């Protein structure tokens, strides 16, 4: 079969489809009544819920700082964690805004670019959030204060403080290395590739590959 | 939901449902995934309806939406599999008997399309629909030269398959 024969067959197939295919309007109306939820809609909803969670965290931590204001480890920890919660909140709002802009009636490359903008934004938010890893003790200090009413830092010896500081420094170096490696060109690496898929979503990663292939012609 | 918008939506889908079916069958060989893709395309057509204007042929606009959804469609999870067991009805039903005599050739045709990468599939589908190379280029936002190259490669693949 050559392309012309294929085209003739396709035209005949199209005509048959117009004659013999039926649309289940009842089911369509049922789906519409249920909100016509698309994958994109679900993704926007997920990001919006994430935003609400971050907003609640920001409010709670803000409330805690206001009520216990002093230069203690739990309050400083709450302040540090609040910065990351604000980043998360801004990230979720940004994601909702970008996802809402995605228009499937645009030319394919433009739609892909919109989706890639979502992916890039998601990746940047992840990079900012992962910066909280070296501050892991902030979670511990705040947790001890909230659950046991104990300021753990004030009970720690100098040796223990130095030990935790060294671990934080190592975390800091690892995070810096990871952020440096977290680029599209390194997706061939097993760990980076896996992280990419998990952060940006398999669909968007798949799309990025398609886009790159198209650019190569 | 305004009656006019809903009426227009049903009218468009009813007249051009074949486009959705052909795109879904070309991008999903699995019947269950295909039903999900059809539903997703319908949802996006509803969402994008306000962006439609008369400067496009309605079929071109529908192809754009359907192809964009199809290339971004990616799901292989258990939640969806569970959903299938509940959904007995299909949005689009087709009397296969009507094309019984051509079924083998059609299956081969779709198998060939399924074997292409997502962008080549889009190019071939629009080519088969009789869209010009400039229209295909505009729909994908790539150059006409790129479209031409892709069509030549598809021809070569077809030739290689035939021999």
Mean pLDDT, 10 residues at a time, over chain B (163 residues)? 77 90 89 84 89 83 92 52 52 71 82 88 93 91 89 91 77
ipTM entry = 0.83
Any A CB within 8 A of B102 CB: yes
Same domain for B111 and B71 = no
Query: Which residue pairs, CB below 8 angstroms and at least 24 apart, start in A170-175?
Result: A171/A133, A171/A134, A171/A136, A172/A133, A172/A134, A174/A133, A175/A130, A175/A131, A175/A133, A175/A134
- The shortest CB-CB distance from B40 to any of A7, A38, A105 is to A38
Residue B17 lies in domain: 1-94
pLDDT of residue B80: 42
Same domain for B87 and B133 = no
A-chain residues near B42 (CB < 8 A): 28, 31, 36
Torsion, CA B156, CA B159, CA B160, CA B163, rounded to 10: -160
Point out the residues of chain A with pLDDT beneath 50.
Answer: none
Nearest to B44 by CA among A115, A119, A111, A40: A40
Total of domains in chain B: 2
Same domain for B109 and B152 = yes
* CATH code for the domain in which residue B128 is found: 1.10.10.10
- Per-domain residue ranges for chain A? 39-216
Any B CB within 8 A of A38 CB: yes
pLDDT of residue B63: 92
Any B CB within 8 A of A154 CB: no
Same domain for B81 and B6 = yes
Shortest Cα–Cα distance, B87 to chain A (Å): 10
Any B CB within 8 A of A5 CB: no
CB A122 within 8 A of CB A199: yes
Same domain for B88 and B109 = no
CB A74 within 8 A of CB A145: yes
A187: DSSP letter = T
Are A17 and B94 an interchain contact pair (Cβ–Cβ within 8 Å)?
yes
Beta strands per DSSP E along chain B = 92-94
Are A108 and B71 an interchain contact pair (Cβ–Cβ within 8 Å)?
yes
pLDDT tens per residue across span B38-73: 888 998 998 888 888 877 788 889 999 999 998 876
Shortest Cα–Cα distance, A98 to chain B (Å): 16
Pick among A104, A109, A113, A203 to test the B interface (most B CBs inside 10 A) = A104
Nearest to B19 by CA among B122, B136, B154: B122
pLDDT of residue A203: 59
Same domain for B111 and B89 = no
Helix (H, G, I), strand (E, B) or coil at A2: coil
């Amino acid at each position: 079969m050559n392309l012309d024969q294929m085209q003739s067959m396709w035209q005949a197939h199209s005509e048959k489809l117009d004659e013999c295919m039926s649309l289940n309007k009842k089911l369509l109306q049922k789906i519409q009544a249920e909100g016509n939820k698309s994958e994109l809609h679900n993704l926007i909803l997920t990001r919006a819920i994430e935003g609400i969670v971050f907003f609640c965290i920001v409010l709670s931590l803000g409330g805690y700082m206001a009520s216990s204001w002093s230069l203690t480890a739990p309050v400083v920890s709450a302040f540090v964690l609040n910065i990351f919660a604000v980043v998360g909140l801004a990230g979720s709002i940004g994601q909702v805004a970008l996802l809402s802009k995605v228009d499937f009636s645009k030319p394919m490359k433009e739609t892909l670019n919109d989706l890639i903008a979502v992916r890039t934004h998601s990746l940047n938010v992840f990079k900012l959030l992962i910066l909280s890893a070296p501050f892991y003790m902030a979670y511990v200090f705040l947790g001890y204060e909230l659950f046991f009413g104990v300021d753990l830092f004030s009970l720690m010896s100098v040796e223990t403080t130095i030990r935790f500081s060294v671990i934080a420094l190592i975390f800091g170096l690892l995070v810096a290395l990871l952020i440096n490696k977290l680029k599209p060109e390194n997706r061939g690496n097993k760990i980076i590739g896996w992280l990419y898929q998990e952060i940006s979503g398999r669909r968007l990663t798949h799309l990025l590959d398609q886009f790159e292939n198209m650019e190569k012609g | 939901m305004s009656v006019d918008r809903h009426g227009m939506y049903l009218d468009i889908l009813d007249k051009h449902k074949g486009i959705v079916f052909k795109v879904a069958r070309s991008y999903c060989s699995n019947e269950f995934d295909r039903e999900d893709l059809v539903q997703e395309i319908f949802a996006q057509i509803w969402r994008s309806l306000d962006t439609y204007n008369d400067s496009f042929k309605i079929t071109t606009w529908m192809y754009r939406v359907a192809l964009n959804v199809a290339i971004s469609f990616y799901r292989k999870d258990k939640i969806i599999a569970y959903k299938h067991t509940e959904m007995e009805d299909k949005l689009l039903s087709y009397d296969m008997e009507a094309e019984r005599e051509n079924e083998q050739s059609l299956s081969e045709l779709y198998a060939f399309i399924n074997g292409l990468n997502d962008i080549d599939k889009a190019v071939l589908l629009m080519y088969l629909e009789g869209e010009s190379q400039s229209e295909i280029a505009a729909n994908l936002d790539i150059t006409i030269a790129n479209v031409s190259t892709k069509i030549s490669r598809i021809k070569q693949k077809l030739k290689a398959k035939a021999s």
